[in-house]
Structure 1
Amino acid sequence: MENNIAVGLDIGTTKIVAMIGRKNEYGKVEILGIGKSKSLGVHRGVVNNITQTIQSIQLAVQEAETAAAAKIEGVTVGIAGQHIRSLQHSDYITRANSDQVIDEEDIDRLINQVHKLVMLPGEEIIHVLPQEYKVDGQAEIKEPVGMYGGRLEANFHVVVGQVSSIRNVGRCIQSAGLQLEGVTLEPLASSNAVLSQEEKEAGVALIDIGGGTTDLAIFRDGIIRHTAVIPFGGNVITEDIKEGCSIIEKQAELLKIKFGSAWPGENKDNEIVSIPGLRGREPKEITLKNLSKIIHARVVEIIEQVYVEIKNYGHEEQKKKLIAGIVLTGGGAQLKHLKQLVEFITGMDTRIGYPNEHLAGNSDDEITSPLFATAVGLVMDGLKRNERKKAETIAEEIETIDEENENTEEETEAIEQPQPVKERRSFLDKLSERLKDFLDNAE
């Protein structure tokens, strides 16, 4: 596979999407191929049947390969699911030599210390995201590198998940004949695809309503401040319609998509849909008003749970206010009148998020649907990872060339001045590597 191509694999509760993309000459992401399959074996974002998940992954990947006429080897995968939780944590280190400025190594030491936090059995830290630093008690420092100080402390947003769930995802990918290139938290991936930098600065809550889970990511001052996964999504709405109208799931899903609305007042009392009965039974008649009442009740419940999380973050405090309001994405965001309902419940500005922020202008309408926000975000993440690898290889090559050309000291000094900036490796890269090692040794 070419170096500048990346593949995102979104393993959802209702669908699995494989998306192949590359950067065009304008730095935008161009989607070359997309494949999706019905997700069997995933429940509320967690794999519960390995064999079925492997088959679904293979189907999606084959479809994407055919569309893009390329071979897929490695993928960037998203993790979500009801086992994800997040917590706030503060930690500090005391520096041995306060005459020297703080460097990347000090920050790494601080972050590694957070990784030693004792978790519940079977849990592992997925992300450690520094919020703001303090140097010798001076608060609200965004970037402490280059400052003097003896005590460096920081507040962290720590995202935790179940080891076994993450490993199962890795196992499915490996068994589907693919390499795991990287792991990303799904709310982070969708927010990269959907939100603009201005929104992240102003303060925004991204709500990604999927089939089995609803993900929330809150940004303020350009930094992620809060994440949560709520174990309800579009499927529970379908389930309610199925129960409430005594019809089969397939019909309930179609009803929801075609006629569903989150606002019961919109429908007249005499609007009726007729649904064919099973095996020659009488057709059923369902009023659209009843349908939207069922949907409304469930959506209100989901939004209220999300709103509790937004309040937990502290949206009601003046300096934590989310000025850009709420952005809705994911398949569930396509429900009619959802935007109005969310504004009504939360009193916050709301828009529907389409993942066209970073996509090339000529992208297909299908791709820019909120349905594919996570997949687009994962492709972007994969492309970024490729660029990092490329930069590292170039830096290594420069070093070897320097060693080979054993110049005189003066010349060497002149060459050495512009040192390649060492990118801090995110914990997810380390997690991906550990996961690869684990899978290799587990056979």
Structure 2
Amino acid sequence: MNDNNIAVGLDIGTTKIVAIVGQRNDHGKLVILGMGRAKSLGVHRGVVNNITQTIDSIKKAINEAEKAANYKITDVTVGIAGQHIRSLQHSDYISRPNFEDVIDDTDIEKLKEQVHKLVMLPGEEIVHVLPQEYKVDSQSEIIEPRGFHGSRLEANFHVVVGQISLIRNIARCVKEAGLNLVGITLEPLASSDAVLSQEEKEAGVALIDVGGGTTDIAVFKDNIIRHTAVIPFGGNVITDDIKSGCSIIERQAEILKVKYGSAWPSENKEIEVISIPGLHGRDPKEITVKKLSQIIHARVEEIISLAYMELKNYGCEEQKKKLIAGIVMTGGGSKLKHLRQLTEYTTGMDIRIGYCNEHLAGGQPEELASPEYATAIGLLMTGLKNLDLKKNKIQQEPKNIKNPEAIAESPNEKNSPNNTLNIDQKNLNEEKKKNKDKKKSIFASFQEKFIKYINDTE
């Protein structure tokens, strides 16, 4: 087991904290070495509201994962979500002094840095700057601008913004748990990596991740992220409604939701009755399955309507922005009975439940493919991508020459025509290599700066 090829995804959710340790096999599939899970006690709607409890929960999940994987965890990739996350579209441009020079990473970085200087609301910080399409002079809809000639480089960006104090709280919990935060990403983007195919992203698809505290949305079209949103309602709100409607405790409400719950009341008959044990010798309570479904239906319909409103805000009803692949639902809340049918009825779009099977190697526990682990699997995939980028960067760095005298040119060779050609070829190769070294992931580059910013402000 090569420790350099192992990454850890840490999903700090509202209902659970999951740590997954894994690596890729020779076929590029994920081999899960170990998983740890703990009840999340200090997180509400994706936001840390109790530092001590969250640290304890992280430690429990990490310890369990370490035992299962027989591996000491030090570095983790973490997801962020919560109702404080918002997104916006922004266009910006730079003027280039010499249009004859080809556009390279320096120009793209300069344009990105300009976007990072946008003035946000007090206490907010830009989390992601995701380029969509570029425009060079009069030529538009360019996906890869490197190598083009032009005097003006313009781009449309999808900008994700969050409250820096709340993001810093997550970073602090990770640090206090004895871990290094090496990667941070928006949770719906991580989930989309785990459950969406390239064909779906190309055709147009909406990911709806129904978690415990929030419902996260990410819209893709032409392989480009077009819209993200976080709705401050999830599976826990449904549990609270059952708890209030049936006058029972939370644990009983959760059992009812998971075991007997349905989002479609007409499927249940009035005569089907569930008996709930009373507290401290009190008589048991009875509730019909139909009434339970009606309570669930009312809240689920609200969540779906809010999610559909976000898709309309993107423009899914326009012919050009139509989501041909429909909706993929994932997250623990997506396991609710008849949720797919209700969403299909409400939106009129094709629906499927997102599982992680496609990325997992054979022989893995079936439980890991469950929608509730989509975010954690996606974070693991992000961690492995960052490892690959780091390794490629190291490999591309020029090696020091220990014996320069050994390859010194003789006076006769120095001026020979063949040698001049060799020197020119060498310079050309070095220039190519230099340009290749510059090609670093835009997301990884910003991620490093963002993590540094969080650490510096702690």
TM-score bin (small chain): over 0.9
Residues 407 and 230 from structure 1, CA distance in 2 versus in 1: closer, same or farther, beyond 3 angstroms? farther
**Partner residue in 2 for 1:71:** 72
Q: SS at the partner of 1:279?
A: coil
Contact 1:33 1:64 in 2 (8 A): yes
Corresponding position: 1:306 with 2:272: no
Question: Does residue 157 of structure 1 match 2:158?
Answer: yes
**Contact 1:130 / 1:155 at 8 angstroms: preserved in 2?**
yes
Residue number in structure 2 paired with 1:100:
101
Distance 1:212 1:341 in 2: 20
**CA distance, structure 2, for counterparts of residue 53 and residue 413 of structure 1:** 59
Residues 40, 53 of structure 1: 8 Å contact kept: yes
1:400 is paired with a residue of what secondary structure?
coil
Tell me the distance in 2 between the aligned counterparts of 1:158 and 1:192: 19
Question: Which amino acid in the other structure matches residue 220 of structure 2?
Answer: F
**1:147 and 1:426 mapped to 2: Cα distance?**
18
Q: Are residues 1:25 and 2:41 paired?
A: no
Query: How much has 1:394 moved relative to structure 2?
Result: 1.1
Contact 2:183 2:451 in 1 (8 A): no
In structure 2, what is the equivalent of residue 186 of structure 1? Answer: 187
The equivalent position to 2:451 in structure 1, one of 435, 438, 441, is 435
Which residue is equivalent to 2:284? 283
Residue 364 of structure 2 aligns with which residue? 363
1:85-164 matches, within 5 Å, as 85-164=86-165
* SS of residue in 2 equivalent to 1:224: strand
Residue aligned with 1:212, SS = coil
* Alpha-carbon distance in structure 1 between the residues aligned to 2:208 and 2:167: 22
What is the SS of the residue equivalent to 2:65? helix
Compute the RMSD of aligned alpha carbons. Answer: 1.7
Cα distance between partner residues in 1 of 2:450 and 2:308? 35
Displacement after TM superposition at 1:401 (Å):
4.4
For 1:134 and 1:9, the matched residues in 2 are separated by 37
- Name the counterpart of 2:383: 382
With structure 1 as the length reference, what TM-score do the two structures score?
Answer: 0.96
Task: Give the 3 Å change call, closer, same or farther, for CA 249–311 of structure 1 in structure 2.
Answer: same
Q: Which residue matches 2:438?
A: 422
Matched letter for residue 275 of structure 1: I
Aligned to 1:236: 237
Q: Pick which of 411-420 and 324-333 moved more.
A: 411-420
Using the TM superposition, name which of 167-176 and 358-367 deviates more: 358-367
Find the counterpart in structure 1 of residue 252 from structure 2.
251
Deviation at 1:257, TM superposition (A): 0.3
Task: Give the aligned partner of residue 275 of structure 2.
Answer: 274
User: What are the Cα deviations for residues 208-233 of structure 1, in whole angstroms up to 9, with x where unaligned?
Assistant: 00000000000000011000000000
SS in 2 for 1:51: helix
Could you tell me whether the CA contact under 8 Å between 2:192 and 2:218 is conserved in 1? yes
Percent identity (aligned): 66
Which residue identity lines up with residue 315 of structure 1 in the other structure? C
Q: By how many angstroms is 1:143 displaced?
A: 1.4
1:211–1:407 distance in 2 versus 1, CA, 3 Å = farther
Matched-pair contact (CA < 8 Å) for 2:78–2:184: yes
How many angstroms apart in 1 are the aligned matches of 2:260 and 2:303? 20
Deviation at 1:186, TM superposition (A): 0.3
Higher CA-based Rg = 2
Query: What is the distance in 2 between the residues matched to 1:118 and 1:438?
Result: 18
- Which residue does 1:227 correspond to in 2? 228
Counterpart for residue 10 of structure 1: 11
1:86–1:434 CA distance, 2 compared to 1 (3 A): closer
Query: What 5-or-longer segments of structure 2 have no aligned partner?
Result: none
Any stretches of 5+ residues in structure 1 without a counterpart?
A: none
Distance 1:440-1:62 versus aligned 2 partners, 3 A rule? farther
For residue 392 of structure 1, what is the aligned residue in structure 2? 393
Match of 2:207 in 1: 206
**Number of aligned residues:** 441
Does the residue aligned with 1:19 lie in a helix, a strand or coil?
A: strand
**How far off is 1:412 after superposition?**
5.9
Show CA shifts across 1:8-55 (max 9, x none). Answer: 000000000000010111111111100000001101000111111000
- 2:345 equivalent in structure 1: 344
Deviations 1:334-372 (A, max 9, x none): 001111111000000000000122111222111000000
CA contact (8 A) 2:171 2:454 kept: no
TM-score of the pair, normalised by structure 2: 0.93
Q: Judging changes above 3 Å, is the alpha-carbon distance between structure 1 residues 412 and 214 closer, same or farther for their aligned structure 2 residues?
A: farther
